[in-house]
Amino acid sequence: MKELINLIDKKLNEYMPVCYPEDIFKAMKYTLMLPGKRLRPVMCIETARLLGCETEKVLPAACALEMLHVQSLIHDDLPCMDNDDFRRGKPSNHKVFGEANAVLAGDALLTFAPQLIIEKSKELSSEQIVRIIHEYTKFAGAYGLIAGQVVDIESEGGKLVKSPEETLDFIHLNKTAVLFRLAVRMGVICANADKNTFDKFDTFATKFGLAFQIYDDIMDEISSFEELGKTIGKDKATGKLTYVSLYGMENAKNKFRGLIKECYDIIEEYHSEIFNEILEKLYKRISGEEE
């Protein structure tokens, strides 16, 4: 997996220019090139590879997805949203470049990503590119990420239109699972695989995304700044609606483990070292068995 992450880092650096006006490109590149786990592009590339598609073909879409993810992190950290001063172990984008540039850097990443897919996906057909851009716009917008974030913010203010359980599921599915779904769906499209395969990977990514958000909520309580690279304990301090606050720590851990086991079962037939490594790492961390 390290090799794949290095390749993603190299391509991200290559795809993202720094040209006039430099302030905006530098702000875009700053958070993008900080050391993230690169889980979404890794999952996109690995899905395509398991289905017979060469890595070269899927790299522009995988890197575009990381740009979308980074956009959501930059905006999430803004004072008008989660107001976080640190991200990936360094000062947040707005702390370095100011609020206006951070808003614009996020906007610029959001629009640069589909431009990159269209310009660099030379080996994909026009139909594949249209399908990928459709997935991207659907999941980034008010049917995906933005919907999740809006309901998350509303719930912090105590405004719940649905039950807390339904609200939490909606937030997790739209704020977090959506980008893992986008990862595998783009991978399947690059590989031109059939509908059954599409649905199988989509179910896998949905369960993984839900597990990952529970993992994130648990880590906010049990981890450290050094491990996460961001301020911890904020969810509890702000009374945020999370899996841990709603169901308790032990139930959250059990739900997380159950979802990870379901992920293993779905993906088992592909014998993917990379997916197994990701699932195992998260599972062991929550179960206190990490090396």
CA-CA distance, 157 to 170, in Å (whole number)?
16
Give, as ranges, the residues between 131 and 150 that touch ligand GRG (CB under 6 A).
140, 145-146, 149
Q: How many CB atoms are closer than 10 A to CB 269?
A: 9
Closest to 205 in 3D by CA, of 271, 120, 269, 279: 279
The answer to the question of residue 267 lying near ligand GRG (CB under 6 A) is no
Q: Which is nearer to ligand GRG, 210 or 267 (CB)?
A: 210
Q: Quote the CA–CA distance of 46 and 273 in Å, as a whole number.
A: 10
HEC string of 46-102 equals HHHHHCCCCHHHHHHHHHHHHHHHHHHHHHHHCCCCCCCCEECCEECHHHHHCHHHH
Among 175, 185, 200, 207, binds ligand GRG (CB under 6 A): 175
**In this chain, which stretch among 34-42, 94-102, 187-195, 274-282 interacts with ligand GRG, using CB under 6 A?**
34-42
CA gap 123, 48 in Å, rounded? 14
Instruction: Quote the crossing angle between the two packed helices 39-50 and 273-286, to the nearest 10°.
Output: 140
Q: Write the interaction track for ligand GRG spanning residues 60-79; mark x where CB under 6 A is met and - where it is not.
A: ------------xx-xx---
- Per CB under 6 A, does 93 bind ligand GRG? no
Determine if 110 is a binding residue for ligand GRG (CB under 6 A).
Answer: yes
Which window, 32-40, 118-126, 237-245, 250-258, contacts ligand GRG (CB under 6 A)?
32-40
Q: Which of residues 145-174 bind ligand GRG (CB under 6 A)?
A: 145-146, 149
Judged by the rule CB under 6 A, the positions of this chain that interact with ligand GRG are 36-37, 39, 72-73, 75-76, 81, 88, 110, 140, 145-146, 149, 175-176, 213, 216
